[in-house]
Amino acid sequence: MAAPLKLKRQSSPKPAKQNISVSPNLPIAAVLVDTPVSYLEGIYDYLVPETLDALATIGTKVIVEFGKINTEGLIIARKNSSDQQKNIKMISKLNSPSGLLSLSVIKHIEATRDRFGGGIWNIIKSAVPARVLKEEHIQRPLVATANIPKYSSPDFRDLIGRSDYDQIQNSRKLKWALSFPIGIKPEWFLAEFIKIRAQINQVLLIVPDEKDLTNYFSILSEYFGDEVIELGSHLNKNDRYRNYLKATLQSKRVIVTSRSGAFTELQSDSTVIVLSDLDESHYEQHAPGWNSRDVSLLRDSSTSIVFASVSHSLEIARLVEIGWLESKKYETKSAIKIVSGMNNSSSILTIKKGLEQGNVLVSVSDKGYANLFLCSKCRNAANCECGGKLQIATQTRTPTCYLCQKVYKDWKCIYCGDNRPFVIAKGIDRTAEEIGRALPKASILVSSGNKQMRSLPRGNHVVFATTGSEPNDIFTAVVMLDGEKIFNRASLRAEEKAKFSWFYLLSKAKPNSEVYLSLPNHHPVVQAILRNESRHGVSEDLINREKAKLPPFYRIAVVTGDKFEISKFSENLKSSSSFEVTGPTSIDGAQSKVLIRATLQQGPMLVDLLDDITKIQGVKGRKIFNIRFDPFDL
């Protein structure tokens, strides 16, 4: 664990102002200051004006003078005296409602900083939306007024069994890895879970993206009304701050949020549900790069934690293996027929059967039309003068370089002069075009990129969609194409993500539908689907990860910086520490990166080491390394 923040002495050329009365009650505030440079971040003492005495409580954001600038700070303590003997400055004004961040939230944020390193204010700025003064009329109620009616769900009880139903309804503490049953809509399943669980206390649902957020908020609003609230970057500045205040100050019973809401204050015996923790949207892109899963696991011990997904990450699988989480999986009487891509079976037959009954979903790996093509005659790659590959965006578009965007109106192969492209990496538009030729009377729809479909028009349609772009509907047939491509990408999480994607697509299939898988029966994921067990093969995956010294058994820091500095840093680290160092590897002409692996026990030491290096670089005026702990992928 990183060392706690310590009081630092202020040096100021100006004497403290004496014309403002200082509070006679605990006149000193210990303030965590958002300094201009991260290596100066620390706790500094400030005087509390008498006029602000009642409001300048722990967890209140304030404006203070630091050096020659005014900046933001957070009060973390009030006390009678200070180690500083003179020149203690005065708090200028408040910058939030009194006690906006509770002590438990401050501890939660500090625990996250200790795990991922970096500056604590980076996390505070992610957790607390920008202030909108006119929205601060919202006050804490004197008494909690939420009155949630008694709810029972016989269908849900029959599905999961009386024992688990009673635990959801009565247990004060759950630690579950919950797998959605095949043939049941995850939205219905999770909504029923929340309706029952909310009778105990608050429920915080953390979803991957805006699509899930608006979907679940709409579903839950029908039952909870004003007691459900949404938080997320999709809201405008005013609405986001207003909803944050309502969630924090009024303790709404159900809060639906994206990753930034993972720090939301909750009452004792509340429940946190993380939906699809394997989704990359749960990972913060800005430093220090925390994720919703780990942040939720860092909450206090009174909080129940449930990870709900069609297929869990290996991090969750490890927690199940060691017994920290309890795995929950439910059988259904689904009559889904699985057809695998062997013995020359055709996806066209599955599509035709499905169209007779309703809509058909066809999942394709990539957007675009011809993402990579060769010359039909000599099979050489089609390249631009700059070295980039040529792509064809649509059937009617001309080849364009993906790097410099140069357009080749009259493209000809530079090797043989032929002008006929041979597509070897098809995108969704090309796939839809080819299957459309085989089904000339079918209605073809495409949902991809920035042209995603939320719902379908009337009639029977063949819907082509890339991962995450599927409409909110269920289908009479589901076709999963490009299996070899998505399971064999050069990525640490390729198989995890592909398995998650395919199990998610299963949830889009009606109970009596046909599902086509573009992989043979002996493939591990096909076996997992045939067994209705997303955890099939996970134990072997975990063994392989541990042997390779990879997450979830090792923590990995990716350190990026100037080539010379990274080279010198990696040499020193290799010779003087027990950490395993890989690299440096070149990123471009000026930048390199190095990977540092540490066991779970060594993790806190590595965080402290990299924090110290960053501070030294700052003090010496050097370029500071970019450090990311446990990124989504490597």
In the chain, where are the structural domains located?
1-100, 154-328, 337-368+427-531, 553-629
pLDDT value at residue 18: 52
Q: Is the pLDDT of residue 407 over 70?
A: yes
Share of the chain above pLDDT 90, in %: 60
Same fold, 154-328 and 337-368+427-531: yes
Q: Is the pLDDT of residue 161 over 60?
A: yes
| One-letter-per-residue 3-state SS of 21-36 | CECCCCCEEEEEECCC
**Is 591 in contact with 548 (CB distance < 8 Å)?**
no
pLDDT value at residue 361: 96
Among residues 551, 461, 474, which one has the least CA distance to residue 512? 474
CATH class of 337-368+427-531: alpha beta
Across the range 126-148, mean pLDDT stands at 81
* E-assigned strand segments in 223-381: 228-231, 254-257, 271-275, 304-309, 326-328, 337-340, 360-363, 370-375
pLDDT digits (tens, 9 = 90+) for 242-282: 999 999 998 899 999 999 999 999 999 999 999 999 999 99
**Spatial separation of the C-alpha atoms in residues 496 and 243, rounded to whole Å:** 34
Angle between helix 538-547 and helix 314-321 axes, rounded to 10 deg: 100
pLDDT value at residue 589: 82
pLDDT digits (tens, 9 = 90+) for 226-239: 999 999 989 999 99
* E-assigned strand segments in 144-302: 175-179, 203-206, 228-231, 254-257, 271-275
**Chain mean pLDDT for the chain:** 88
- Confidence band (pLDDT; 50, 70, 90) for 145? low
- Torsional sign, CA 331, 337, 341, 347: negative
339-353, 417-431, 511-525 — which is least confidently predicted?
Answer: 417-431
Across the range 217-221, mean pLDDT stands at 96
pLDDT value at residue 397: 66
pLDDT value at residue 146: 66
**Spatial separation of the C-alpha atoms in residues 266 and 299, rounded to whole Å:** 10
pLDDT digits (tens, 9 = 90+) for 337-382: 999 877 667 899 999 999 999 999 999 988 877 666 778 778 787 8
Q: Find the Cα–Cα–Cα–Cα dihedral 431, 433, 437, 440, rounded to 10°.
A: 120
pLDDT value at residue 335: 82
Give the CATH superfamily of 154-328: P-loop containing nucleotide triphosphate hydrolases (3.40.50.300)
* Structure tokens, 514: 């046909």
Among residues 71, 89, 92, 93, which one has the least CA distance to residue 15? 89
pLDDT digits (tens, 9 = 90+) for 28-51: 999 999 987 766 778 999 999 999
Per CATH, which fold does 1-100 belong to? GIY-YIG endonuclease (3.40.1440)
Across the range 2-19, mean pLDDT stands at 48
With 0-12 / 13-18 / 19 or more C-beta atoms within 10 angstroms meaning exposed / middle / buried, residue 206 is: buried
Taking the model in full, what pTM does it have? 0.88
Across the range 520-527, mean pLDDT stands at 90
Q: Which residues of 13-50 are buried (b: 16+ CB within 10 A; e: fewer)?
A: eeeeeeeeebbeeebbbbbbbbbeebbbbbbbbbbbbe
- Confidence band (pLDDT; 50, 70, 90) for 394? low
